[in-house]
């Protein structure tokens, strides 16, 4: 069985090396998809033994599709984000999985989201994520510009922890959540998704992360502030969706409909909402 691995990156030199070392320790072929790095990340990837593949950024769906195509003819695909890595025990667990003649369409792994707020580091939450996918099922589409989930599929689980550098600042995380909320809403508007209550979504998200997943007990007040910022995404995306349904942001709507996703990302990043 041939396992291909990939990571999407731009200027991620501060976290890319441990990410790639885990992929290279496990996979038969590793692609580092470079979306225009200027900080030496592409050179770092090549020096470690990965294949650096340049890719003009058009959103996450298009990038993941390009990475999978670059990994032909692998049987399974495994991917990490540039701010994730595997510990030695996780690598060994995944090697055992690889040797077990797997057949499921997808396998989910537990990802631990770590927060580094000032001098305090704590586990914010743990979530199971589909990261090992049979290549014929690893299908992403260009219109999946953000939060590009695979179709729901039955599968197995591998108890190999992915370590994720989730947040180093509440403020920076809040800005990222707001930007992603607008991108999600543009896609949801095109797909004619229904609205959900804005206030309920935010409170429910805070309760889930702080209370049910235990972030509050591990991170105290910092965890509460972070959870409220993260919960802002779930409320804001429906607030943006309501505005789009009311006719706001016509230029962004047109750009999305025309598939000019590179321009869309640039406008949202720069605040040029029109």
Residues 146-194 have pLDDT tens digits of: 988 898 899 999 999 999 999 999 999 999 999 999 999 999 999 999 9
The mean pLDDT value for 73-89 works out to 97
Quickly state the pLDDT bin for 82 (edges 50, 70, 90): very high
Q: Which DSSP letter does residue 11 get? A: S
Would you say 73 and 1 are in contact if contact means Cβ atoms under 8 Å apart?
A: no
**Nearest CA-CA partner of 4 in 25, 30, 33:** 30
The full set of domain ranges for the chain reads 3-167, 170-270
pLDDT reported for residue 211: 96
**Nearest CA-CA partner of 115 in 162, 173, 160:** 173
CATH topology of domain 3-167: Spore Coat Polysaccharide Biosynthesis Protein SpsA; Chain A (3.90.550)
The mean pLDDT value for 111-116 works out to 98
Q: Taking 90 as the threshold, does the pLDDT of residue 199 lie above it?
A: no
Q: Taking 90 as the threshold, does the pLDDT of residue 110 lie above it?
A: yes
Quickly state the pLDDT bin for 274 (edges 50, 70, 90): confident
Report helix, strand or coil for 112: strand
pLDDT reported for residue 2: 96
Q: Taking 80 as the threshold, does the pLDDT of residue 218 lie above it?
A: yes
**What does residue 57 show for φ and ψ, rounded to 5 degrees?**
-70, 125
């Amino acid at each position: 069985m041939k396992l291909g691995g990939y990571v999407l990156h731009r200027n991620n030199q501060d976290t890319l090396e441990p990410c790639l070392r885990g992929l290279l320790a496990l996979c038969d072929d590793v692609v580092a998809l470079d979306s225009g790095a200027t900080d030496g990340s592409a050179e770092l990837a090549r020096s470690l033994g990965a294949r650096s593949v340049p890719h003009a950024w058009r959103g996450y769906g298009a990038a993941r599709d390009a990475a999978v195509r670059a990994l032909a003819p692998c049987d399974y695909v495994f991917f990490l984000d540039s701010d994730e890595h595997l510990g030695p025990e996780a690598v060994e667990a995944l090697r055992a999985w690889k040797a077990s003649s797997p057949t499921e369409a997808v396998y989910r792994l537990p990802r631990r989201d770590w927060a580094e707020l000032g001098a305090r580091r704590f586990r914010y939450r743990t979530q199971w994520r589909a990261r090992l996918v049979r290549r014929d099922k690893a299908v992403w589409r260009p219109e999946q510009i953000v939060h590009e989930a695979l179709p729901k599929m039955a599968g197995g689980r591998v108890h190999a922890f992915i370590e994720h550098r989730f947040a180093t600042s509440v403020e920076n995380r809040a800005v990222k959540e707001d930007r992603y909320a607008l991108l999600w809403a543009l896609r949801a508007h095109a797909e004619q998704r229904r609205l959900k209550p804005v206030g309920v979504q935010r409170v429910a998200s805070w309760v889930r992360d702080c209370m049910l997943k235990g972030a509050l007990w591990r991170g105290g007040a910092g965890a509460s502030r972070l959870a409220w910022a993260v919960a802002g995404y779930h409320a804001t995306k429906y607030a943006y969706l309501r505005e789009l349904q009311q006719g706001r942001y016509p230029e962004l709507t047109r750009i999305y409909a025309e598939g000019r996703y590179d321009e869309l990302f640039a406008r949202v990043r720069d605040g040029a909402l029109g």
